[in-house]
Amino acid sequence: MLATIVVSACSTGTESAEATSAQTTSGADQTTTTARPTLTAPNLQPPAQEGRHINKDRPDVVFDPCTWISDETIREAGFDPETRKRGEDFLAEWTFLVCRFESDSIDVSVMSGNVSLEEETTKNGSWQRSTTVNGREATIGREPGRGDSCTVNIRTTVGVVFVNQRLNLNGRIQGADPCAGIEKTAALVEQEIGEGN
């Protein structure tokens, strides 16, 4: 599980820009997708999903947590949107796009990847239980030996979105519960993933 780190505020330059809508028609099927406004600050942009180390047998990750999740959503979940910071993205056999946010006692990282929920369950199912998040299949749990963190994994079209809450120093001193509010956080994040993703 990725560790949450202390970050500096990066609210300047996070203007929203309207993206255009695209329509794709394939035979009798017609699918319309509308790209939503995304944060445009240069330090928040995801890396290009290309290069010789990328596994092209897996789909590209569509949902980018650092540019798709709105400040309002982060604030409603109880975190400070001005602490938004891109985490250590991973592009190799699997692709993971990461964003982190802080609060007084609990920090959260949201990681969007192209590993399947079945693969994640095979690896970590011993400490996760099945649940749903706004109707999407998901799992929730606390990794053994990691009493300071709690995770919800949400199925997407191309893989999984991992929502991991972890106690920061204040939270550990206070003896806070890292799972406090995580289902609300996951539900708010899920609404930002968007239909079809």
Q: What is the per-residue pLDDT across 115-153, written as a single tens digit (0 to 9) for each? A: 999 999 999 999 999 999 999 999 999 999 888 999 999
Residue 192: what are its φ and ψ, rounded to 5°?
-85, -15
Kind and range of the H or E element at 105? none
Mean of pLDDT values over 76-91: 90
* Domain ranges, ordered by start, for the chain: 61-193
Q: Find the range with the poorest average confidence among 24-33, 96-105, 182-191.
A: 24-33
Please state, rounded to an integer, the average pLDDT across all residues of the chain.
81
More confident residue, 54 or 176: 176
Q: What is the per-residue pLDDT across 6-61, written as a single tens digit (0 to 9) for each? A: 333 333 333 433 333 333 333 444 434 444 556 667 677 776 766 666 667 788 88
More confident residue, 15 or 101: 101
Residue with tokens 């890292």: 178
**SS3 state of residue 83:** strand
Which two structure tokens, joined as six digits, stand for 158?
């191309």
Candidate CATH numbers 1.10.3470, 3.30.70, 3.40.1000, 2.60.40; the one for domain 61-193 = 3.40.1000
HEC profile of the chain: CCCCCCCCCCCCCCCEECCCEEEEEECCEEEEEECCCEECCHHHCCCCCCCCCCCCCCCCCCCCHHHHCCHHHHHHCCCEEEEEEECCCEECCCEEEEEEEECCCEEEEEEEECCCHHHHHHHHHHHEEEEEECCEEEEEECCCCCCCEEEEEEECCCCEEEEEEEECHHHHHHCCCCCCCHHHHHHHHHHHHCCCC
pTM: 0.76
DSSP for residue 43: G
